[in-house]
Structure 1
Amino acid sequence: MGITSAWAISAHHDSVISELAPRILPLIAAEREEPRAHERWARWRHSPLPDHRTWYRISAQDSNLAHAISSFHRLTAPGEHIQRLYDDTSHEDEFHLADSVWARDESPKHMFLAIRSKDYALTSFFHAVGPARAAFIPGWCGNFLLTAAQVRDTLPNIERTLSFTPQERAAAEKQDWLDYAPDEESVLTGPLRQWRHAAQAGLGLCGLSVLIY
């Protein structure tokens, strides 16, 4: 059975961030405190995965690598707590992630959106940048909610995290296994562009990774 997933980083005024905070921040905290979450993060941090093109050729003979790959996929796949934002349509105030967050502003410059079939954009992004860089992404595993002040405060780290020398970019692009349309932002360019835009415009950011179906 195929899947379709989305990783979105949307920019909003602080009034919207404040409105979303009671819904989203406890869910991010719950994802972070899952019993196996830090174990999976530590495994990846201490032993980054090799070139993704070797994973399934090697892992058939290497049970440790097979387990590491599985652990990494579980770490970076949408978590069940955040997933409820998308799945649960029973809210009395008719809140729904797609309509109440992503479609709140029609301007494309206020959104980075990676929708993928049979894959998770966040998984490819984390593998491409590696654990040392990914550790500077706020929140937990691509899910975050930041006020405008927090966006400004975190921008220097994000600049360092997502800026590459030509050699580093070439290496990262080889490890980002997603295919892109000619006019589509990659996971290596969209998040930094969105962070810079939000900081310049005085906006906050909401980053969420979910399974659409």
Structure 2
Amino acid sequence: MSVTGVWAVGTVSDRTLDELLRAAVRASPPVPGPSYVHVPEGLAWWRGKGTESLFSASTDSPGAWVAGEDAFRLSAFFDSCYDDSEPVEALGDAVMGAFPPEGDEGLFAAVTRKAGPFSALAYALGPEAAQLLPGWFGDFLLRADEVRARLPEAEEALALTGPRRRDVVERIDQWMTALGDSPDHDAEELLDGPLRVLHHAARTGLGAAGVVRWY
């Protein structure tokens, strides 16, 4: 059975964020969440790989890529950091329901069969730059003041030009086509879209949220 990965980033008012969080706590009082004791070890392994490519050019299909063993290991690590508990997914649904409509400047969404868009971006950026992004592996809730505070780090990670941008775009292509089934993906929009939303939030005094989902 095929799966679809989604990463949505959208603006949301502080008031709405507060209301959603209060409702989530009322519906599901805080309980011990999943254990992430494996994360430091996984991050250390990823840092050891740096920005080396985990894919090789296909010898059968020109322009295609083949995922190496380490690519699958990194993908599994990203997936293991995703909290799919019912309360967290319910909150994610509520947050996405508060996002602006499709086509609005305050919304970015990437959808990929068989691969996670945020995972592709994180791999492409490398461990150091990816950790400049807000939140936990693509999931985040930021009030308006937090958006402004975190914007410089997001710009450092995503506002790329020249050879660095070309390298990151190629690495997104590697992930999306070798691990995923998304030949028509827009690699550059995966860089530009989230930053555009954060800029819009900062200009308009809104908060912002990111939601990673699998369907």
TM-score range, shorter chain: 0.7 to 0.9
TM-score calculated relative to the size of structure 1: 0.77
Trace 1:129-208 onto structure 2 (pairs within 5 A): 129-177=125-173, 178=176, 179-180=183-184, 186-208=189-211
Which runs of structure 2 are paired with 1:42-121 in the superposition (5 Å)?
42-48=44-50, 50-54=52-56, 59=68, 66=69, 68-77=70-79, 79=81, 81-82=83-84, 84=86, 97-98=92-93, 100-104=94-98, 105-106=100-101, 108-121=104-117
SS where residue 137 of structure 1 aligns?
A: coil
Q: Measure, in 2, the Cα distance between the counterparts of 1:112 and 1:58.
A: 27
Give the Cα–Cα distance (whole angstroms) in 2 for the partners of residues 21 and 111 of structure 1: 20
Moved more, 47-56 or 191-200: 47-56
The secondary structure found in structure 2 opposite 1:176 is: helix
Q: Equivalents in 2 of 1:52, 1:186: separation in Å?
A: 22
**Percent of residue pairs bearing the same amino acid type:** 25
Report the secondary structure of 1:187's partner residue.
helix
Deviation of 1:81 after TM superposition, in Å, equals: 2.4
| Cα 1:154/1:9, change in 2 over 3 Å | same
Could you tell me how far apart the structure 2 residues matched to 1:169 and 1:83 are? 35
What amino acid is the match of 1:102?
M
Note the alpha carbon deviations across 1:170-199, whole angstroms, 9 max, x for none. 1111101234467x9721111111111111
Counterparts of 1:141 and 1:40, CA distance in 2:
13
- CA offsets per residue over residues 135-179 of structure 1, 9 Å max, x none? 111221111111100000011111111111211111111101234
Q: Which runs of 5+ in 1 are unaligned?
A: 60-65, 88-94
**Cα RMSD (Å):** 3.0
Alignment length (residue pairs)? 193
